[in-house]
Chain A
Amino acid sequence: MTTLLSATALCIGRGDRRLVSDLHFALQPGDVLHLRGRNGAGKSSLIEVLVGLRPPQSGQVHRSAGDAFHWVGHRNALNPDLTLRENLDCWCALNGVPGDGIAPALDRMGLARLRLRPARTLSAGQKRRAALSRLLIARRSLWLLDEPLSGLDGEGLAVLGQLMNEHVTGEGAIVVTSHQTLPGKLPRVTVIELG
């Protein structure tokens, strides 16, 4: 079976403080890796190392060759002066993805009527949904999500739960950080408790 993401003897830290020591895992299609822990435990630091935004102190991270992945960080990557549609158009252009997936994605996330609104006028939950709509615009087997539940209301959580469930049953894999219980019915969840 293909390994979409693996870590070998991974150690990460901030300054002198060691956050994760000797972490090993291999993530395969259908897997969900839930990084859980109190604030400051190192969830975001670990997922940023897995994404490649920061280097580990030691050890290795390997993502399956040639496979693009989705990254939804705790910042939504929306310029406040551009409309929702313009923000997503720019993301599509940056990623070489056709923009025809934007309208259905916004519709699924309940944002279709807000597509021409500047991002600055959206609520925190709406911005979060907009960031998550990128998961639907381009199909990628690996999702790395940093606190995706933050700001979402009950309906948003239900939609995210459905998306995650559909993704893992469709041979995708997810790494997600959250101190909350994950929404939806996810078949294979491995929890790493940090801190």
Chain B
Amino acid sequence: MSIPATAAFTATLGRELRIATRHKAEWLMPPLFFAIVVTLFALGAKPGDPQLAALAPSVLWVGALLAALLTLDRLFRGDLEDGWLEQVFVGPAPAMGMVLAKLLAHWLLSGLPLLLLAAPLALQLGFPSGAPLGWLLLGLLMGTPLLSVVGGFAAALTVALPRAGLLLPVLVLPLLAPVVIFGSGAARAAQAGLDPGGPIYFLAALLVLSLTLLPWAATAALRNAFD
């Protein structure tokens, strides 16, 4: 008997969103953290300082990256500890569906709120509205799923390790350096009136590559967690 991966996908997505409704405080932390970090930068700078606007893309990207890290450690750990992962891996549906659903749920609950907050926070830093803001948000639209996918892969790799919470940022931050470089590079280019197409294409390529390869790799890493 085998059932399609969509069964594991829909079952897991529904389960994750339902669990999230019971843990509202946990999912409010990333956007709150993001807003606090960016606001502290604004408060620490001279009022109307043009350098703050120049640094705004980097501040927003690093803030989003750190905020997304907050919930990564628990992405698979709870399911490993309570035995749910075992049921997924011995069940008839491909486990890949579960992994994709967990990553999508992480983006919906963590990445999407950051994206929605980014525009007001960027304006607070003096980043210009109009086309440059649009490019910044387009970069974040492609970059925040990358934070979930790459971070999810690292979370799967470390799920069975004790004190993985310390290891995870060290593993994830260098992997996500290109995302920050291209994401903030696109916004800076738009801010300077240059064509931001190049870095945006790089971000798109990274997203497609990660979505294609990393869910498989994360599934394999989770399977090894039982050994």
A residues within 8 Å of B by Cβ? 48, 51-55, 66-69, 71, 73-82, 86, 90-91, 93-96, 118
Contacts and interface: CB of A to CB of B under 8 A. Distances in A.
Contact of A94 (B8, B23, B82, B83): B8
Given A53-B226, A78-B82, A90 B90 contact: no
Q: Which 5 residue pairs across A and B have the least CB separation, nearest first?
A: A75-B83, A93-B11, A96-B3, A77-B83, A81-B22
Interface in B1-25: 1, 3, 7-8, 10-12, 14-15, 18-19, 22-23
A82 B7 CA distance: 19
Interface residues of B, number: 29
Contacts of B98: 94
Contacts of A66: 1
Interface of B: 1, 3, 7-8, 10-12, 14-15, 18-19, 22-23, 78, 81-84, 86-93, 98, 226-227
Contact of A79 (B8, B11, B19, B91): B19
B23 A90 contact: no
Contact of B7 (A68, A74, A77, A94): A94
Nearest to A68: B1
A75 B86 contact: yes
A116 B55 CA distance: 51
Contact of A76 (B18, B19, B82, B227): B82
Contacts of B7: 93-96
A52 B11 contact: no
A82 B16 CA distance: 10
Contacts of B12: 94
A67 B81 contact: no
B226 A77 contact: no
